[in-house]
Amino acid sequence: MNTEDISESSLVHVPFYHFYYNYKDKQYSAIVEASSGKVYANLWPVKSEMPFRIMFAAAIVVYALASILSFALAYAFSGSSFEGVLLLGEGIKLVLYAVASIPLIAMAYYVAKKV
């Protein structure tokens, strides 16, 4: 860059705060850029992924069982008519999904808050 092309220059002070903290008996360091509050860290503490994976697996199992149960109930109530089983099964499935989602959302909220 040619210095003759520069029309104006200014000195801008952006405060950074460097601090150390302990988390689970390990020391970490981070830098906070004071004007925006953004945190820069080279190493973040490791967050356990197992509770999230368990919630994911539980949701898959619960919704799969709800789907199977809905079509089994629809077959039992509507006989062997394919259209009747399909329509009634989808209706029952919507109700079962809504009922199953309430405890799953509560458990997901609990896991997200605790982990």
Best CA proximity match to 65, nearest among 105, 97, 103, 107: 97
Residue 93: per-residue pLDDT: 96
Residue 91: per-residue pLDDT: 95
Contact 26, 45 (CB under 8 A): yes
Compute CA distances 77 → 8, 31, 40, 71, 82, whole Å.
Answer: 81, 64, 60, 10, 12
Helices (H), the chain: 50-78, 82-114
Residue 97: per-residue pLDDT: 97
- Tens of pLDDT along the chain (115 residues)? 787 888 888 888 888 888 888 888 888 888 888 888 888 877 766 678 899 999 999 999 999 999 999 999 999 988 778 888 999 999 999 999 999 999 999 999 999 888 7
Query: Quick check: helix, strand or coil at residue 10?
Result: coil
Strands of 26-33's sheet, edge to edge?
A: 16-23, 26-33, 38-40
User: Per-domain residue ranges for the chain?
Assistant: 7-40, 50-114
Quickly count: other Cβ atoms within 10 Å of residue 89's Cβ: 21
Q: What is the largest CA-CA distance in the chain?
A: 88
Residue 45: per-residue pLDDT: 66
